[in-house]
Chain A
């Protein structure tokens, strides 16, 4: 078994008994990256020199017996829309190709305090807009299970790098499914925390009322470790919630007796492939075997979630992305001699097609005469979608269904029609609109490609999600499967 197949708790034990050094873990990580990243193409920037210095410093700490952080010595990959001081941060966009942030995002600061090593920055769909990583302004990332398939998106490389064993874990961001969908496609564990649980300070904003940073890992236990390190109120993010952070590692009781599961009929209905449905029904049987019960319920407004999401997220994006004007940072076009033309040329040369399309949609939905018909209407429907969840959670502990309607698909097969691509997110988007937390855990395969089980919880009840996910994981062997690269 490779070093990188071990859990954080196992690695910590080996560090503690001096059977392993931080440098050993880092060497194994970079060896693997140099071996497979030419195929997977997950990293946009590698931070090798700094990582080696940091590893040495941590090894000295290990010898001296100084206090160690929660994630001591663990290498991590960071999605490239989370700013890292002095490390190029591009959002996978040409407009930020040479951007070097002057500060660390709060999550990065907290990871540093936890003694992790930021080994590099991970590819994504440009500005997190996309479901396949094909919208990267640099190059697409490939699915380790089948290199001709997409890893999902927008945090496609966050999931692919972990799945390929290039790094123990990573951070992604999830606006409409961008952590969970790639986690499902790549057979790893990905959590979107409750809106407000994790600081967004230093996350380059896409849709501020929906964006949330979250952990991508090989197993549920590591996921809880990573969330523990990054969760909690941050004065630098005014939408950050003031809630007590529980001990997530205490969730792993293995006990789901009496747990009440709701299974929305809309999540197993039309458009969901048979191979996916079968895996979900098998997963429910496993949970039943552990003493949980489930009933079919309805989220009647979920069919309106996709339209609601595209109006709201694009509107918010059109405002957020107005900061890219070629003045203070980012690409500036040389092909203009007045200010307005400079803005227009810089933005048009720097942004990719999908980003421009969404800015256009958002600007239209917010423009005079259309605001009430589109933007405000969508905000009202968002209320109905949110109430669907509130009603279900009055009677049930968790909601369970598939993460995506199908397994991964071939690169290039969905790029022609934006609407078809958007359909990938129909089961993840309602969760962002309601602000509730949800995880995707591996639950088997369909035609050789991984399928994700989505477990949705109440606001700030990540503990129950982890308890259920962990019990399921321990009762099955899906998470032990590794892609052959």
Chain B
């Protein structure tokens, strides 16, 4: 039985903001199914009483004084913008 369907792959692609063709969706279904199948070997392990590791070091919140510091200028921030207008990032229509 397959672990992931082509419909699911299309849904995940939408969530990931990727456009996939019908052929790509088919190939990805096959490849992801194989990788997920391989990942399911983790189920051999009993982890009921194991804490998850999010980070390997003992980290606490790193805080600092809320002081005004230098920040990037508008020109710098715009330097790599694909499209801009009046010092702002320009995007296609959001509202119809």
Residues of chain A at the chain B interface (Cβ within 8 Å)? 98-100, 102-103, 195-196, 209, 235, 238-239, 241, 301, 304, 306-308, 310-311, 318, 322, 325-332, 336-345, 347-348, 351, 356-357, 359-361, 363-364, 367, 374, 376-384, 386, 418-419, 433-435, 459
Asked if A318 and B16 sit within 8 Å, CB to CB, the answer is: yes
Instruction: Please classify how large the interface on chain B is, using the bins under 10, 10 to 19, 20 to 34, 35 or more.
Output: 35 or more
CB pair A340 B16 closer than 8 Å: no
The 8 Å CB contact of A343, one of B12, B17, B40, is B17
Instruction: Give the distance to chain A from B50, nearest Cβ to Cβ, in Å.
Output: 4
Structural contact, B82 and A304, CB atoms closer than 8 A: no
Residues from chain A with a CB closer than 8 A to the CB of B91 are: 327, 339, 342
A348, B28: Cα distance in complex, Å: 14
Partner of A326, one of B36, B42, B62, B82: B82
Give chain B residues whose Cβ lies under 8 Å from the Cβ of A238.
Answer: 59, 62
The residue in A196, A241, A383 that gathers the most chain B C-beta atoms within 10 A of its C-beta is A383
Partner of B82, one of A330, A361, A377: A330
**Alpha-carbon distance A343/B18, docked complex (angstroms):** 8
A239 to B12 CA separation, bound complex (whole angstroms):
30
Q: Of A235, A340, A386, which contacts B64 at CB under 8 A? A: A235
Any A CB within 8 A of the CB of B83: yes
* Residue of B8, B39, B62, B76 with highest tally of chain A CB at under 10 A: B39
A363/B15 in contact, CB under 8 A = yes
- Chain B at the A interface: SS class: loop
Partner of B34, one of A301, A306, A419: A419
Q: Does B22 contact A (CB under 8 A)?
A: no
Given contacts A326-B82, A377-B42, contact A360 B18 (CB under 8 A): yes
Closest approach, in angstroms, between the C-beta of B2 and any C-beta of chain A? Answer: 13
| Count of inter-chain pairs, beta carbons less than 8 A | 156
* Min C-beta distance of B58 to chain A, whole Å: 9
Contact A382 B28 (CB under 8 A): no
Chain B positions within 8 Å of A378 at CB level: 39, 42
Quick check: A380 and B52 within 8 Å, CB to CB?
Answer: yes
Question: What distance in Å separates the Cβ of A457 from its nearest Cβ neighbour in chain B?
Answer: 14
B35 contacts across to A, CB distance below 8 A: 310, 361, 418-419
Among B31, B56, B92, point to the contact of A339 (Cβ < 8 A). B92
A351 to B45, CA, bound (A): 35
Beyond A360-B13, A378-B42, 8 additional contacts (C-beta under 8 Å) are A102-B77, A304-B41, A307-B40, A341-B19, A347-B18, A360-B9, A379-B52, A419-B38
Q: Which of B65-94 contact A (CB under 8 A)?
A: 72, 76-77, 79-83, 89, 91-94
Return chain B residues, CB-CB under 8 Å to A327.
81-82, 89, 91
- Complex Cα gap A360–B12 (Å): 7
- Pairs A–B under 8 Å by Cβ, sample size 17: A102-B80, A238-B62, A308-B42, A330-B82, A332-B83, A344-B17, A359-B18, A361-B35, A363-B12, A380-B47, A380-B51, A380-B53, A381-B42, A386-B53, A418-B35, A419-B34, A459-B57
What chain B residues lie within 8 Å of A103 (beta carbons)?
Answer: 72
Most chain A beta-carbon contacts within 10 A, residue among B4, B19, B31, B91: B19
Q: How far, in whole Å, are A119 and B92 apart by their CA atoms in the complex?
A: 39
